[in-house]
Amino acid sequence: MDFLLLLLASGLVSGAAYGLIAMGFALIFKSTGVVNFAQGELVMLTAYISFTLYSTFDLSFFPLMLVTIPISMAIGLVLERLFIRPMLGEPIFAIVMVTVGLAVVLRGITIMAWGPDPFNFNAGIPTRVVTLGGVPFYPAQLYLIGALGVLTAAGWAFLRFSRMGIAMRAVAANETAALLVGISVSRIHAIAWMLSAAIASIAGVLFAANFKLAPDLWFQGLRAFPAVILGGMDSVIGSAVAGLVIGVIENLFQGYVGQGLREISGFIVIIIVLMVRPFGLFGSKDIERV
Amino acid sequence: MKNGLLALSAFLLASTASYAADPGVSDTEIKIGDVNIMTGPASFIGRAVSVGSKIAAAEINEAGGVNGRKITIITEDDGYVPARSFQALTKLIEVDEIFALNGTSGTANVLAMMPLIEENNLPTVVTTAPNELVYQPVRPSVFTVGASYSDAFYAQLKYIHENTEPENAVYGLIRQDDDFGGAVEAGYDRAVKEFGVKDGLRIRFKKGTANFAAEVAQMRQAGVNVLANGGIIAGAANILSEARKLSMDLQVASVWSEDMPPSVNLSAPAGYDYLVADYVALSGPAIDAFLEKAKKYASDEEVAAINRYTYVTYVGLKALAEAMGQCGQDLTRACTVEKLRELKDFDTQGISAPLSFDNPEQLSGTAVAVYQLNAAEKTFTALTDFADY
């Protein structure tokens, strides 16, 4: 029982990381129809920026995020304006290739600016072990799970009730119709990139606080991608839930079956789910896959 | 007119003396190539390697060079990509016309360069990839410095078994699912069989894994209290961090990458005074003397980049220079290779065990010493002398 609880807890931690990163993917896809292959690099870049802020100003977690998030949103806006906006009207495939190029550039910039050495980055979160229901956690692990919960709830409320969220759903449903009723589609695209960068920064900081800050952090973007597929490419909330599902399944497989089946297990689940629901657990039936 | 022709002939004959020698050697200079990881996540290795070559060259040159010829190091970046290693060495051979090679990047990289090395009979000292694939089969001009991961893990587990083994010891292994992990497991396997201890659990993981919570929970479930930690850098640190969370009392054996300052900075907060075994010294008078030397020949930034790879490349170039020196003024690649093959008990001033390439594999530096980290002070203490296992 103790062992099972440990596996479930660790599954929720890694699942929360997947979920947060996947939410960023889904948000951009939902609003723009583009798979942002630079999402992992955005996670990495914003985490390094936060690390510099932390090292310079010695901030605790919440003040640190209060500074990191706006900077990340500004980066998201700049990237959208410089690289994505000029591609409006071009084939989706071309825009996706731009994000691939962007990924390489961001990776290079990060290593150039911060070097290749990995860092310990606790993000102002205490490192003393706490026990909940007999299961030990680092506080950063609880912050990670908590952040996913808060962002999922906030994301649901935003898309469901806010004017901007409804406009975003309208653009996702039918871009031309949204334009005709006076919604600024380009503005929605920019906001999607800003929000996605904000989520990326939270994911990046909390991932680094749990698993060190290193230049291969971008790779977590690829590792989280199955969660986007499983949840549904256009479902922000679905991606978050799917992240948890994959995290828990991976850890249970590793714990009880073992020997490298962690990675395979997530994909087995995806194959099975997609055979039954090709649009993912929470996705729309008519989405265009790229 | 006749005298003029004679003078011209004499001049051409004299000048061909230097053209007749192998590339990379002039009356005043010897060019040594260095293909290295200068960019990308693994560039902290390349930077350290590069500093090692630089310090050795500066020291040799200050002492008058190799029979009056100064050593010039020419570094090319391969970004840890084997195809780029091949391109880099092609450039070093054809454009820079190097005489010999000291930096050779990783195992796959040196293997990618091997056809060029063999074709040009390029004297090559491999210091950062002591892999069996590099020295078997033996290539005539390739000389390898370094121990195997297998011996390194065996040495540590032997030390634990003989000195600090806990009661009811249960051994466990966590390692990458690749050749490197296989070498780690070979040492572990030899140890548990030879010592007759309980082999609790062996776990493989994919390179790049960050979250080891499930694996460490499995270790705890199996009652492991002696851990062969085959993770490297952030991976090794994350394993120890999870063990700390589960309050596991562990004796830990580690990969030698864990004696590098960036690795120590990541792992030390977990509080485990882990062991490493290495074929270069990590502390003591030899390293103190080397660091003093480094301050003289390298910038502050370069000194900060020093780690074990610096030491091993330093001794590699010193050995190469010794062989070149023994060839006298008629320096050729063939002579250098022959002298390297005859090298025996070359004194590295305590940085590693003495180097000898006079063996069928042209392999040296296989002796390792076991060190223990003081996690609070981030320093290493030698527990054993260099020994072959």
Write out pLDDT tens, residues B341-360.
999 999 999 999 999 999 99
Please check the confidence at residue A135 and state whether its pLDDT lies above 60: yes
Distance from the B264 Cα atom to the nearest Cα atom in chain A, whole angstroms = 10
B266 CB within 8 Å of a chain A CB: yes
- What is the C-alpha separation between B369 and B210, in angstroms, rounded? 29
CB contact under 8 A, B213 and A211: no
| A88 Cβ neighbours under 8 A, 6+ residues apart | A186, A189
Please check the confidence at residue A89 and state whether its pLDDT lies above 80: no
pLDDT at A1: 56
CB contact under 8 A, B214 and A117: no
Please check the confidence at residue B300 and state whether its pLDDT lies above 90: yes
Please check the confidence at residue A215 and state whether its pLDDT lies above 80: yes
pLDDT at A30: 86
- What is the C-alpha separation between A213 and B86, in angstroms, rounded? 32
Please check the confidence at residue A289 and state whether its pLDDT lies above 70: no
Contacts of B220 in chain A (CB under 8 A): 6
pLDDT at A270: 81
Confidence of residue A67 (pLDDT cuts 50, 70, 90): very high
Digit-coded pLDDT (tens) for B58-115: 999 999 999 999 999 999 999 888 999 999 999 999 999 999 999 888 888 999 999 9
pLDDT at B2: 52
CB contact under 8 A, B233 and A214: yes
- pLDDT more than 70, % of chain B: 95
Contacts of A116 in chain B (CB under 8 A): 40-44
Q: Which of B36, B211, B240, B247 to mutate to test the interface with A (most CBs of A within 10 A)?
A: B211
CB contact under 8 A, B177 and A260: yes
Please check the confidence at residue B19 and state whether its pLDDT lies above 50: no
Q: For residue A263, give the chain B residue with the closest CA.
A: B206
Query: Mean pLDDT, chain B, as a whole number?
Result: 91
Q: For residue B244, give the chain A residue with the closest CA.
A: A129
| Mean per-residue pLDDT, B318-330 | 95
Q: Which CATH architecture has domain B149-278+370-382?
A: 3-Layer(aba) Sandwich (3.40)
- What is the C-alpha separation between A251 and B182, in angstroms, rounded? 24
Please check the confidence at residue A56 and state whether its pLDDT lies above 60: yes
For the domain made up of B21-147+284-358, the CATH class stated in words is alpha beta
pLDDT at B130: 87
Q: For residue B212, give the chain A residue with the closest CA.
A: A10
CB contact under 8 A, B214 and A11: yes
Select the residue of B42, B44, B214 nearest A254 (Cβ to Cβ): B214
pLDDT at B388: 92
State the DSSP string of B88-126: HHHHHHHTS--SEEEEE-SHHHHHHHHHHHHHTT--EEE
pLDDT at A268: 85
Distance from the B30 Cα atom to the nearest Cα atom in chain A, whole angstroms = 32
Contacts of B234 in chain A (CB under 8 A): 118, 211-212, 214
**Phi and psi at residue A125, to the nearest 5°:** -100, 135
Distance from the A215 Cα atom to the nearest Cα atom in chain B, whole angstroms = 6
Contacts of B237 in chain A (CB under 8 A): 120, 212
Query: Mean pLDDT, chain A, as a whole number?
Result: 90
The ipTM value here is 0.88
Q: Are A85 and A282 in contact (CB under 8 A)?
A: no
| Mean per-residue pLDDT, A77-101 | 90
Bond prior to B137 in cis (omega within 30° of 0): yes
Alpha-carbon torsion A53, A54, A57, A59, what sign?
positive
State the virtual CA torsion across B92, B97, B100, B101 in degrees, nearest 10.
-10
Contacts of A254 in chain B (CB under 8 A): 214-215, 218
Neighbours of B296 (CB within 10 A): 11
- What is the C-alpha separation between B28 and B63, in angstroms, rounded? 14
Contacts of A144 in chain B (CB under 8 A): none
Select the residue of B214, B246, B262 nearest A251 (Cβ to Cβ): B214
Please check the confidence at residue B10 and state whether its pLDDT lies above 50: no
CB contact under 8 A, B40 and A116: yes
- What is the C-alpha separation between B292 and B283, in angstroms, rounded? 13
Cα B377 to chain centroid distance, Å, stands at: 25
CB contact under 8 A, A120 and B266: yes
Please check the confidence at residue B5 and state whether its pLDDT lies above 80: no
Digit-coded pLDDT (tens) for B207-250: 878 889 999 999 999 999 999 999 988 999 999 999 999 999 99
Q: Where are the domains of chain B?
A: 21-147+284-358, 149-278+370-382
Between B337 and A168, the more confident residue is B337
pLDDT at B14: 45
Compute the count of residue pairs across chains A and B with CB atoms less than 8 Å apart.
95
CB contact under 8 A, B41 and A137: no
Q: Where are the alpha helices (DSSP H) in A162-235?
A: 163-173, 175-180, 185-211, 219-231
pLDDT at B346: 96
B332 CB within 8 Å of a chain A CB: no
CB contact under 8 A, A214 and B41: yes
- pLDDT more than 90, % of chain B: 80
Confidence of residue A282 (pLDDT cuts 50, 70, 90): confident
Please state which CATH number belongs to domain A2-125+137-276. Answer: 1.10.3470
Select the residue of A7, A17, A212 nearest B234 (Cβ to Cβ): A212
- What is the C-alpha separation between A186 and A173, in angstroms, rounded? 15
pLDDT at A223: 85
pLDDT at A279: 82
